Each structure stands twice: as C-alpha cells, then as structure tokens.
Amino acid sequence: MLRLLLLLLAAATQVSPFTFVPSACVSLRPPPFLPLRSSPDPPPPASPLDSPPTDASLLPPGLQLRQKLEGTSLYLVGMMGSGKSAVSRELASALGTYSALDTDAVIEQLLPPPQTIKTFFEQEGEPAFRKLETDVLSSLHSHVRVVCSTGGGLPTTKANWALLQSGIVVYLDVAPEVLVARLGSSDEAVSSRPVLAEGGEALAEKVGRILGERRKDYELADVKLEVKDEAETVEQTAERAVLATLKFIKENPPKSTGEVKE
C-alpha cells in the first residue's frame, strides 16, 4: 500500500522517487576561478646563492658588496682610456644580479646611422652633446642594480651630479702615463674621441690638460681608486673597486629609514 502511494505521488509531481536532486547549495564542480590542483613540481636543486652563509664575511667580496648595496647602482667616472666600460662589466659579473651599462654605448644606439658620437660632436657642438648625455643619464639613473660606465666629460656638467648621487660614484684615477700608453696603442683610440681628435697638441700634453680641467669634478666621487700600474688587469682593478666600495659603505653606513626591504 505504501509503495503504491509513493508511485502515485511521483507521477503527480513528474519526479521519479529514485532520482537524486542535489540541494541548491551544493556545487558539483569547482568555481571557475579556482585552478585545478595538480601534482607539484619537484623543487629545484639548491644553490649556494639561495642559502648564503649566515656570516656575510664568508661570502665572496662581490656578493658581500651586493648585499650591502641593496640594489643601489654604481657609477664609474674617469678619463677616457681609464677602462670604465671593461671594469663595469667585470663588476656587474662579480655582483651577480647587476647589469653593466655604458652611457656612450646608449648614445650611439640612439643616433641615426651612420652618425656617431664623433660626427654628432662635430656637427652639433659640445653643448648639444652634453645635453644628450644628461638626457641619457636621467633615463638610466631610475634603474636599480646597474653598474654604469659614464663618458669622460659627463661629470663636468653640474646637473649630472644630482643624478649620479642616486648611487655610489667610483672614480678610476688612472695615472696620465698609463692613459697615454693605452690611448696611444691605436689610432682609432684617439680618432674616435672628439676631444682628443681636435687640435695639434701632442697626446701626452692633451691628456694632461684635459685631466687637469676635469680632476676637480672627478674628485667629488665617493670612492677613488688609483691605477698606477700599466700591467694591472681589468679583473684586478674590479677586485680592488669591490673592496674599496665595501670600505666606503662600512665607513659611511646608510641611515636607517625603518622600511623593510625585500
């Protein structure tokens, strides 16, 4: 009798008594914004850089400096022939996560071919070139983790020092005789540099005069690194630059801002 009543009720409502009707609050599939769970990838092999020693003094000097810099950029200044471009690349390699940039190289890329820095300098004049240098430096100084090699005359523009002070400035103070030896090693080294290509002075006299005019600006740098030995390699200069910059930071610790840096 009870079964008969259930069958009659089912027919009246058009619902089978054996059909499962889920509640409205039950979802049969995950929401579309939830990703389906998949098996996790195996963890990558551990690297010494991922778990640096607790004692920072156990790290290589380049990695010690990277920790101290906390993303602050380095700017290399000095005379043409001082090796800024090569040293900047070596420094960036030692720091690991830094990139090497060269203001002259950036300017060359901006100029329409076949124009070069030398032809621009000759056609537009030095003031126009210095303005272009400032524009390029202004675009670069907002970047972090950069080792930037600057043109020899860039620090002589007062506006550029406000931009350089966003980082640490390293002056490669190369002895005049070493500069002359390097620049005199090829005709291209002289002819490609506008301030050396003009005039009838001997190379040694010209280098001495230009260095005398610019030295007061170079001396404003945070770190001064003397290079007196012509046989000193780029790697050796970069190693000494790392140690000198570490010394500068130790003697001039940054003021704490209370911010937590990632």
pLDDT in tens, 3-24: 433 343 343 334 333 333 333 3
pLDDT at 45 over 90: no
If you average pLDDT over residues 214-239, what whole number do you get? 96
User: What residue type is 101 in one-letter code?
Assistant: L
Kindly state the percentage of the chain with pLDDT values over 90. Answer: 65
Question: 221 falls in which pLDDT band (50, 70, 90)?
Answer: very high
If you average pLDDT over residues 229-233, what whole number do you get? 94
In whole angstroms, how far apart are CA 240 and each of 83, 91, 146?
14, 10, 18
Domains (range + CATH), the chain: 59-249 (3.40.50.300)
pLDDT at 142 over 80: yes
If you average pLDDT over residues 159-174, what whole number do you get? 95
Closest of 92, 85, 82 to residue 108, by C-alpha? 85
Per-residue model confidence (pLDDT) at position 41: 43
Per-residue model confidence (pLDDT) at position 54: 56
pLDDT higher at 66 or 2: 66
Per-residue model confidence (pLDDT) at position 5: 38
SS3 content of the chain, % helix, strand, coil (to 5): 50, 10, 40
Contacts of 257 (CB under 8 A, 6+ apart): none
In whole angstroms, how far apart are CA 5 and each of 13, 14, 15, 179?
13, 14, 14, 109
Question: 188 falls in which pLDDT band (50, 70, 90)?
Answer: confident
Strand 146-149 with 99-102, pairing: parallel
If you average pLDDT over residues 26-52, what whole number do you get? 42
pLDDT higher at 223 or 33: 223
pLDDT at 206 over 70: yes
Per-residue model confidence (pLDDT) at position 152: 96
pLDDT at 211 over 60: yes
Per-residue model confidence (pLDDT) at position 199: 67
pLDDT at 25 over 50: no
3-state class (DSSP) for residue 247: helix
pLDDT at 63 over 90: yes
Q: What is the mean pLDDT of the chain?
A: 81
Sign of CA dihedral 33, 34, 40, 44: positive
Per-residue model confidence (pLDDT) at position 55: 67
Kindly state the percentage of the chain with pLDDT values over 70. Answer: 75
The beta strands (E) that lie in 42-136 are given as 74-77, 99-102
Q: Is the peptide bond before 40 cis (omega within 30 degrees of 0)?
A: no
Per-residue model confidence (pLDDT) at position 7: 41
Reported as half-sphere exposure (CB side, CA atoms, 13 A), residue 193 has a value of 19
Least confident window among 21-35, 145-159, 200-214, 248-262: 21-35
